[in-house]
């Protein structure tokens, strides 16, 4: 029989402390009043930066680019590729200062393990989902191979209404906003997106740009209550489902249809599937993964890295079921089973992180955003 679910924790907090010790400084050694005073001093700088960044984002992305995009669309289909290249450049320029800010002021650090990724590949990238910062972390992984301007994320439609970021992500073609309560509409929108990617990467297209299609198959952020409901669903369907829905301790049961549809339709252009497993340090409250996005934005790290561990797996598309002469139904079933298998493996990896304090495998170098690069965003 299945035991009770463990809290959705991840890596032990010791990793972040070790990094701080190696840096030769730890804000934890400061008295509480000194830390509070330091935060009070730096908070106005954070507010000024965020306000300025929002203003620049609105002017540079949400207004100027809206006019440019409208003009390019009026120019006809021949201008579509130029428009997409401009969108990639705009998104790269737009996101670089934010990434630099989160890594410098917020102290965000990634500990990478696993396989090296290739910036010349078009891929579907799937990751587990804990909080809003996950998208920035996945974008940081894309930046390691210079693909952060070519990332496209499938997200819920409500994020479209986030001030500045929602409209900016829409105009820069960085997000596909789907309405989960309307499956027919979502399916049409995904098909249009995949068709556009296939068109941009057809054999007749010279020098196509590789892309990352980012999907969070869980469909929502992990919380203790959602984890309990997910496990109840797995147990309830154990006798009837074939194969059984996986019983996971650190992840929600994945909604496999989105990632399966993406792989099935984009297979001719894909080189691999990248599987990213994110592990946040456990600060004693499993409902509150750290570092929280608002902490990264408004609370200076004071020299103490806020660590997120990321394990990278590259799965060649030839090893992903489907394709060939298989029927659509058979391919869908094979991809469903494959997605379940990948999440069972991710759950095992998170179990090892909780036990050992790190992911298995080779430790990879993480390249932070240079201040000069953040100022212009070009590469």
Low-confidence ranges of the chain (pLDDT < 50): 1-2, 9-25, 377-379
> Measured in Å, how far apart are the chain's first and last C-alpha atoms?
54
Select from 23, 101, 98 the least CA-distant residue to 61: 98
Q: In the prediction, which pLDDT does 287 show?
A: 60
Q: Is 204 exposed, middle or buried (0-12, 13-18, 19+ CB in 10 A)?
A: exposed
The pLDDT value recorded for residue 66 is: 67
Tokens 């590469």 sit at which residue?
379
pLDDT at 340: 94
> CA-to-CA distance for 69 and 208, rounded, in angstroms?
20
Helices 256-266/328-356 angle, 10° precision: 120
Task: Answer whether 273's CB lies under 8 Å from 125's CB.
Answer: yes
Contacts by 290-293, CB closer than 8 A, 24 or more apart = 291/106, 291/107, 291/108, 291/133, 292/131, 292/133, 293/131, 293/132, 293/133, 293/136
**Rounded Cα distance, 233 and 246, in Å:** 10
Closest CA to 97 of 52, 45, 154, 38: 52
Give me the pLDDT at residue 269, please.
92
Distance CA 300, CA 245 (A): 42
Tokens of 250: 């650190």
The full DSSP string for 65-115 is HHHHHHHHHHT-GGGHHHHHHHHHHHHHHHHHHHHHHHHHTS-EEEEEEEP
Positive or negative, the CA dihedral 368, 373, 376, 379 is negative
- To the nearest 10 degrees (0 to 180), the angle between helices 80-104 and 32-57 is 170
DSSP β-bridge partners for residue 364: 112
Q: Are 156 and 175 in contact (CB under 8 A)?
A: no
Contact 190, 178 (CB under 8 A): yes
Q: Can you tell me the distance from the alpha carbon of 110 to that of 105, in angstroms, rounded to the nearest whole number? A: 15
Q: Taking the CB of residue 167, how many other CB atoms lie within 10 A of it?
A: 19
Question: Cα–Cα distance between 29 and 9 in angstroms, integer?
Answer: 25
pLDDT value for 109 = 87
- Cα 228 to Cα 355: distance, rounded to the nearest angstrom: 21
What the block records as the tokens of 223 is 């919380």
Instruction: Name the β-bridge partners of 161.
Output: none
pTM for the full model? Answer: 0.83
Question: What is the per-residue pLDDT across 346-362, written as a single tens digit (0 to 9) for each?
Answer: 999 999 998 888 999 88
């Amino acid at each position: 029989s299945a035991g009770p679910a463990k809290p959705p924790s991840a890596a032990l907090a010791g990793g972040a402390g070790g990094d701080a010790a190696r840096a030769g400084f730890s804000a934890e050694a400061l008295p509480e009043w000194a830390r509070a005073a330091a935060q009070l001093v730096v908070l106005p700088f954070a507010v000024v930066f965020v306000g300025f960044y929002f203003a620049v984002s609105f002017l540079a992305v949400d207004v100027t680019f809206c006019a440019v995009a409208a003009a390019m669309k009026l120019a006809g289909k021949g201008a579509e590729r130029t428009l997409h290249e401009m969108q990639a450049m705009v998104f790269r320029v737009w996101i670089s200062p934010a990434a630099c800010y989160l890594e410098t002021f917020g102290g965000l650090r990634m500990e990478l393990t696993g396989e090296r990724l290739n910036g010349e590949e078009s891929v579907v990238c799937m990751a587990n989902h804990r909080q809003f910062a996950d998208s920035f972390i996945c974008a940081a992984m894309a930046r390691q191979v210079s693909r952060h301007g070519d990332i496209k994320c499938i997200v819920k439609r409500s994020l479209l209404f986030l001030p500045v970021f929602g409209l900016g992500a829409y105009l820069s073609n960085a997000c596909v906003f789907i309405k989960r309560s309307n499956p027919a509409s979502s399916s049409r929108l995904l098909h249009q997106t995949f068709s556009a990617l296939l068109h941009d990467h057809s054999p007749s297209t010279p020098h196509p740009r590789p892309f990352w299609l980012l999907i969070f198959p869980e469909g929502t952020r992990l919380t203790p209550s959602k984890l309990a409901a997910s496990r109840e669903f797995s147990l309830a369907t154990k006798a009837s489902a074939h194969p059984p829905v996986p019983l996971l301790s650190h992840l929600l049961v994945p909604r496999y249809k989105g990632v399966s549809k993406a792989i099935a339709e984009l297979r001719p252009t894909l080189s691999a599937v990248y599987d990213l497993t994110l592990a946040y340090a456990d600060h004693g409250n499993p409902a509150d993964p750290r570092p929280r996005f608002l902490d990264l934005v408004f609370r200076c790290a004071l020299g103490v890295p806020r660590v997120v561990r990321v394990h990278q797996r590259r799965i060649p598309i030839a090893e992903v079921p489907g394709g060939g002469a298989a029927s659509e139904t058979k391919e869908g079933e094979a991809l469903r089973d494959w997605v379940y298998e990948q999440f069972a493996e991710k759950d095992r990896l998170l179990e090892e992180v909780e036990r050992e304090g790190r992911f298995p495998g080779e430790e990879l170098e993480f390249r932070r955003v240079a201040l000069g690069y953040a100022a212009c965003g070009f590469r």
